[in-house]
Structure 1
Amino acid sequence: MSEKKFHVNLAVLATGMMAFSGVLIETAMNVTFTTLMKQFNISTSQVQWVTTIYLLMISIVVPLSSYLMKNYSKRQLFLAASTLFLVGVVINAFSVNFTMLLAGRILQGAATGIALPLMFNIILTKVPLEKRGMMIGIGNLTTSIAPAMGPTYGGILTTKLDWTYIYIFLIPVLIISTLIGLLAIPKEPVTKNDSINMTAVMALSVMFTGLLCFFSYATTWIGWVALVIGVVGAAFFFKSNSKKQLLNLSVFKNKMFTTYLLSFLMFQVLLLGISFILPNFVQIVLDAEASKAGMMMFPGALVGALFAPVSGTILDKLGFKKPVGIGSLLAIIGWASFIVTLHLGIIPLIILSHVTYMIGVGLAYSNVMTVGLSSLTTDLQDDGNAIFSTLQQFMGAVSTSFVAIIIGFFQTSSSDYAQGTLTGATVSVIVLLVFLVLSVLAVLKTFKEN
């Protein structure tokens, strides 16, 4: 079929709906943890694998995206992702044990790992440069707004119905996205011209699994054994990747790309971190329902959704410095204010902190990705896209595990469980604030150089 029959907006919508659903479930399940622990008789460290194993699967699949894009058509990849996602959601909708729940999450992770880079590949290859900022902003709604909407969605359904409805209600959405995608994405001829470096794939999987297990069990000897395994996996990956590239790591020689990648990852860490911190804080410290924990994050999610595409348009017309600079500073102000508002325990003030932070995210988050990818030559953009998406998901998983460890440590070491939760939440916010400030300073430094 001819190029003109490729419906870009509908294709981005279809892949975006799938990626949005994946990220929505990711944080929607955070408010179900207490329920799942009781239903399946599991611990806090076990239940967090509902999120971690999903993100781990994405981290493993996304590095394959450069190979997949070159050897399979966009239509084939979209259909594969849709099928995997639908099967995974159906499994979770009728899960009778924890193992079955994790199996569904693995399939959803694989699907999102295909859909997310596919969406950005469509934007990078089909959208004119002058409109790219706006489209990447719209695309990034899936990863910037869904984490904030997830707790609202999950909280209401868990309280009013049952946690399985988180998945049941997404089945028609995924069917619609599949139909839109099949309409929008035509068959395109693709010549298979490469084989995949399976050794590098396996080594990368070992590396990510080892490192994630370390962050999940860092307070035990198992965590440190996992770290050693992860480091060994990393060594094998770099050795194998140097012989036959799975990921083109030469992109890291580009200072702009590396700086803006780190900034992007920091925003992702905070987005996933706060989506874990706030629901647990509200339910444990303030003794509120899951639905209330979710609803308090909705205003921030809405504001972020409104600002994301607008910020891309600002970048297209005025350049990147204003939206990135203003957004980064607002993110720091909003995040720092959590230190005070969490201790006050006044929900309207906590919402105000979250809204301020999400305005900053809406202005800066997608634009740092646009700047980072646009700093690469066209032949490196698929590799850059794969690295952005891979590390985005991996750091999201690290963030969830990292915050869970800090909060868990203070919960167990305090005689008052609620007070321990408050202390752990506060310490988590302060530690992440330091990393946020450092990443923003690195970005602001590039303003002088460009």
Structure 2
Amino acid sequence: MENNKKLVGAILATGLMSFAGVLIETAMNVTFPTLIQQFGITTSDVQWVTTIYLLVISIIVPISTFLLKRFQLRTLFLAANMFFLAGLVIDFLSPTFAILLLGRLFQGASTGIALPLMFHIILTYSPYEKRGATIGLGNLTTSIAPAIGPTYGGLLTAHWSWNAIFLFLIPVIVISLFLGLSSIPKNTAPKNATLDVLSVLSIVMLFSGFLLFLNQLGTIASLVPLVVGFMGLGLFWQRAKGPHPLIRLDVLKNRSFCLFLFGFLVCQFLLLGVSFVLPNFVQIVLGKDAFTAGLIMLPGAAIGAILAPIAGRLLDKVGPKKPILLGMVLIVIGWLALALLLRSIFIWGLVAGHIFYMIGIGLSYSNMMTTGLNKLTPESYADGNAIFNTLQQFSGAVATAIVATIINLAQSNAGYLQGTIIGSQIAMFVLWALVLLILFFMLHYFFRPKTMTK
């Protein structure tokens, strides 16, 4: 990269597509009650607006290592940009729920290319001593979206139409296009690379099977996709030992990398889980409109987004221990407060709990990714990057599916209103247990580092 401005421009150009994808994801969450009524679908069905987007990303990202070897950076960027633009137009015009999902599929394909492209540029062109701040900048583009997504979606839904959520993002993608054309390098020549088709098939079977299983959880029919998922896992593992694996799984032998990967994925679980639970709880239980539901999440999400690059600079100066551990403690306290306050009607309590929890996310989330990737050798960056980004999106889809399933089951057994309260609290406590687990592992790692080996 010629200079720092070019690097920042390239990061922002690719990051804007991820930003738009996450913005839609969180903006659409506040429209779920509206979509359920308009299309005559269930809570379990409507979460596919998020799940199909994350599923496609989970399938495309593992192929990114092949794409980065086979195509120029600029070619990949243009393809991602065009895919996203097509998805926005389709969704703006969508007359049915199926067409809406088709547009989300195109957007997922775009983000599946753009996200690893952004981190490939960071890992390739950013100096090691500034990597924390640079990765923080990259994550800022995606973490700032939840700050405005629910409010953005609620405002448009309440005063116009949920379709407008897609219309107003077209200029963002156009800005991304011009920014990328002026900053992404031209001189990256494609290399010879072989795509293992069976590995791609295994990825499709793996992620589709497990997500369909979660979507149909509690029914006999869910056993079929579960079997398909395990077949995909077995095939992927077998192909990973071949001469042309999609991702080299040797990086998973690095225990430190795996620890920070796990922590990062737990944070992703929380981010997607709360963006589903809170807006629906506020609308269904408290009777507020979509705009209010989105506004409640704005302060916390904004603080978490702003902290991402600041926490990255902190990591560059003092190391990962202090920001990550402090962040995890704040997450544990804030998340517990949110879970307990879901039985109250005190909206400001929900806002305060969310702010507290998002401060913790801002300090730890991006830094876990930076620290995990720093544990690898430069030759393994592409594989580690692909694993982080693939599992980030898949874990988000899993979190959304689990939370939606828990709430849906509670609504079926206890009624729509009471079931939403009970289901939301159960979902929050399930995720809180994961937070406690990762805090324990982090304390063990940082205070007894000799027990953790590569």
Q: TM-score range by the shorter chain?
A: over 0.9
Q: Is the 8 A contact 1:266 1:435 kept in 2?
A: yes
**Which stretch shows the higher mean deviation, 189-198 or 422-431?**
189-198
Which 5+ residue runs of structure 1 have no aligned equivalent? Answer: none
Give 1:30-429 correspondences, 5 Å limit. 30-243=29-242, 244-415=244-415, 417-429=416-428
Q: Which string of whole-angstrom CA distances, capped at 9 and with x for unpartnered residues, describes residues 113-172 of structure 1? A: 011111111111111111110111111123433234321211111111100110000001
Shift in CA distance, 427/148, structure 1 to aligned 2, threshold 3 Å = farther
Q: Is the 8 A contact 1:144 1:365 kept in 2?
A: no
**Which stretch shows the higher mean deviation, 137-146 or 22-31?**
137-146
Give the Cα–Cα distance (whole angstroms) in 1 for the partners of residues 339 and 103 of structure 2.
36
Measure how far apart 1:3 and its partner are: 4.6
| 3-state SS in 1 of match to 2:241 | helix
| 3-state SS in 1 of match to 2:189 | coil
Return the letter of the residue paired with 2:437.
L
Shift in CA distance, 260/189, structure 1 to aligned 2, threshold 3 Å = closer
**Which stretch shows the higher mean deviation, 84-93 or 437-446?**
437-446
Give the Cα–Cα distance (whole angstroms) in 1 for the partners of residues 278 and 401 of structure 2.
15
Return the letter of the residue paired with 1:153.
Y
Give the Cα–Cα distance (whole angstroms) in 1 for the partners of residues 166 and 276 of structure 2.
19
| 3-state SS in 2 of match to 1:166 | helix
Q: Which string of whole-angstrom CA distances, capped at 9 and with x for unpartnered residues, describes residues 280-316 of structure 1? A: 1000110110110000000001111221111001000
Which 5+ residue runs of structure 2 have no aligned equivalent? Answer: 450-454
Return the letter of the residue paired with 1:159.
A
Measure how far apart 1:446 and its partner are: 1.4
Q: Is the 8 A contact 1:50 1:105 kept in 2?
A: yes
Shift in CA distance, 6/74, structure 1 to aligned 2, threshold 3 Å = farther
Aligned residues: 448
Segments of 4+ moved more than 6 angstroms: none
- TM-score after normalising by structure 2: 0.96
Q: Is the 8 A contact 2:144 2:306 kept in 1?
A: no
Return the letter of the residue paired with 2:413.
S
- TM-score after normalising by structure 1: 0.97
Q: Is the 8 A contact 1:6 1:185 kept in 2?
A: no
Q: Is the 8 A contact 1:147 1:272 kept in 2?
A: no
Return the letter of the residue paired with 2:347.
I
Shift in CA distance, 191/15, structure 1 to aligned 2, threshold 3 Å = closer
CA RMSD of aligned residues (A): 1.3
**Which stretch shows the higher mean deviation, 186-195 or 155-164?**
186-195
Give the Cα–Cα distance (whole angstroms) in 1 for the partners of residues 214 and 188 of structure 2.
43
Shift in CA distance, 220/123, structure 1 to aligned 2, threshold 3 Å = same
Give the Cα–Cα distance (whole angstroms) in 2 for the partners of residues 95 and 87 of structure 1.
12
Give the Cα–Cα distance (whole angstroms) in 1 for the partners of residues 39 and 128 of structure 2.
50
Give the Cα–Cα distance (whole angstroms) in 2 for the partners of residues 156 and 3 of structure 1.
41
Q: Is the 8 A contact 2:265 2:391 kept in 1?
A: yes
Give the Cα–Cα distance (whole angstroms) in 2 for the partners of residues 148 and 168 of structure 1.
19
Shift in CA distance, 145/223, structure 1 to aligned 2, threshold 3 Å = farther
Measure how far apart 1:5 and its partner are: 9.6
Give the Cα–Cα distance (whole angstroms) in 1 for the partners of residues 71 and 447 of structure 2.
42
Q: Is the 8 A contact 2:407 2:427 kept in 1?
A: yes
Return the letter of the residue paired with 2:396.
G
